[in-house]
Amino acid sequence: MSEALLPPIGMLAELTHRCPLQCPYCSNPTELMKANRELDTETWLYLFRQAADLGVLQVHLSGGEPTLRRDLEQLIAGLSSHGVYTNLITAGVGIAEGRIEAFAEAGLDHVQLSFQGAHAETTERIGNHRGGHQKKLETARRVRAAGLPLTINAPIHRHNIGEVPDFIELALSLGAERLEIANVQYSGWALVNRDALMPDRDAVERQMEIVGQAQERLRGILNIDFVTPDYFAIYPKPCMGGWARDAFMVAPDGTVLPCHAAHTIRSLTFERFGDRSLAEIWTDSPAFNAFRGTDWMQEPCRGCERREIDWGGCRCQAMAIAGDPAATDPACVKSPVHARMGMLIDDALASARAEKAAGNPPEESFIYRRIAATTQLA
């Protein structure tokens, strides 16, 4: 370790893999867990206490759909009693009457609501959930009525990249403080569906222009966070702010990982909360220490002046595209296999053209996220 180990600031808690939506870019693993493997209320509460003691200041309650946990109010109250800032990440369909108010009462600090499209037809087609858009609009209204701050999250890909201006209007009309225009990251289900989701270069450029102008125009009115598309990038993102540097995630069964895609690095073994404490896992787990700091780096990262800016980028993307989790993230122009990103874009666009020529509707090429769908992948 080239620098002192600091305590973690943030934690993503995937409370469940159950979800009413079936988005083909879901960041959950392609092998989804059923409800019987989820941690119980007591164990989550115990884990949250340890997280707070360890230094965690912010917890993102996610899934799957976290509101499917009937004990969510209790979990929020537990975190809140330790002074932890709580952020609910929800799809916003089917939240029972009175629950949003109960979350607020329990101490919830912030809600992030996803929209698959800026228009009803898109939202329903991408999430494969009829009536979804209308339910989300209603959820947004209830969130604001409960006095909670709201972020709209828009995952962007080929089928909705043209709706970016409409997403901005939607966020404004719903009274949101923040909008995330988040280009899909190709891990989990998105990697399976990459050919069906990849946007073209012109659309990406137009999007960047539109977002840049809106950020300027809406300064002090709406915060727009832009998550750039890796495949079109010159430099990689500091994924998770650096591997096991200031954040981690917990899967529904209590497995503790440096990021939500880390399980795709098969050479690593991840430990479960309960077998060891969070503090032990954070400090000693070989999987956490594997890519911490800069000592593990190879060239060109090792000698690069950006090594402590992007920490080598995403380890899971290095695994997926370069076949080596210790390689430079191929999103980086300095990666020896950077050209593969461009080839993968071209492959995806060629496959999209072929589908279109055959007259196939786009959703026919989606492998929708669901438990049974994993058999199609085998």
Partner 1 sequence: MTALRERALVLLDSTPSLPRHVRIQFDPVRQAYAVLSPERVFWPDEISLDILRRCDGRTSVGAMIADLTAEYDAPEDEVAGDIMTFLQEWADRLLVRP
- Annotated binding residues, written as ranges, equal 19, 23, 26
Structural tokens at position 265 = 């690095």
Q: Tally the residues of the chain.
A: 378
Measure the CA–CA gap between 124 and 200, rounded to whole angstroms.
23
Is residue 377 near partner 1 by the rule CB under 8 A? no
Tell me the backbone φ, ψ of residue 208, rounded to 5 degrees. Answer: -60, -40
* Cα–Cα nearest to 24, from 164, 154, 125: 125
Is residue 98 near partner 1 by the rule CB under 8 A? no
Residue 3 CB, nearest distance to partner 1 (Å)?
16
Q: Which of 54, 120, 203, 373 binds partner 1 (CB under 8 A)?
A: 54
Closer residue to partner 1 in complex, CB, 112/207: 112
Measure the CA–CA gap between 100 and 143, rounded to whole angstroms.
7
DSSP labels, 199-252: PPHHHHHHHHHHHHHHHHHTTTT-EEEEE--GGG-SS---GGGSTTTSEEEE-T
Q: Which of 1, 4, 40, 147 binds partner 1 (CB under 8 A)?
A: 147
Q: Which of 67, 87, 114, 317 binds partner 1 (CB under 8 A)?
A: 87
Q: Which of 55, 274, 342, 361 binds partner 1 (CB under 8 A)?
A: 55
Is residue 3 near partner 1 by the rule CB under 8 A? no
Residue 220 CB, nearest distance to partner 1 (Å)?
3
Is residue 58 near partner 1 by the rule CB under 8 A? yes
Q: Which of 138, 169, 209, 299 binds partner 1 (CB under 8 A)?
A: 169
Measure the CA–CA gap between 281 and 287, rounded to whole angstroms.
9
Is residue 173 near partner 1 by the rule CB under 8 A? yes
Is residue 109 near partner 1 by the rule CB under 8 A? yes
Neighbours of 374 (CB within 10 A): 15
Is residue 85 near partner 1 by the rule CB under 8 A? yes
Is residue 42 near partner 1 by the rule CB under 8 A? no
The enclosing H or E element of 190 equals helix 189-192
* Cα–Cα nearest to 6, from 313, 275, 279: 279
Closer residue to partner 1 in complex, CB, 133/159: 133
Q: Which of 69, 110, 194, 315 binds partner 1 (CB under 8 A)?
A: 110
DSSP labels, 14-54: E--S--S---TT--S-SSPPPGGGSPPHHHHHHHHHHHHHH
Q: Which of 3, 9, 298, 342 binds partner 1 (CB under 8 A)?
A: 9
Sign of the four-CA dihedral 96, 100, 105, 108: positive
Is residue 261 within 8 A of residue 316, CB to CB? The reply is yes
What residues numbered 176-215 form the site for partner 1, per CB under 8 A? Answer: 177-178
339 bridge partner residues: none
In eight-state DSSP terms, residue 146 is: T
Q: What is the CA radius of gyration of the chain?
A: 20
Measure the CA–CA gap between 259 and 65, rounded to whole angstroms.
18
Sign of the four-CA dihedral 56, 66, 112, 194: positive
Closer residue to partner 1 in complex, CB, 87/328: 87
Residue 89 CB, nearest distance to partner 1 (Å)?
11
| Max Cα–Cα distance, the chain, nearest Å | 58
Residue 115 CB, nearest distance to partner 1 (Å)?
15
Closer residue to partner 1 in complex, CB, 169/364: 169
Is residue 221 near partner 1 by the rule CB under 8 A? yes
Is residue 353 near partner 1 by the rule CB under 8 A? no
In eight-state DSSP terms, residue 282 is: H
Annotated binding site for [4Fe-4S] cluster: 19, 23, 26
Closer residue to partner 1 in complex, CB, 162/165: 165
Applying CB under 8 A, the site for partner 1 has a residue count of: 30
Per CB under 8 A, residues contacting partner 1 are 7, 9-10, 53-55, 57-58, 83, 85, 87, 109-110, 112, 147-149, 151, 169, 172-173, 175, 177-178, 219-223, 225
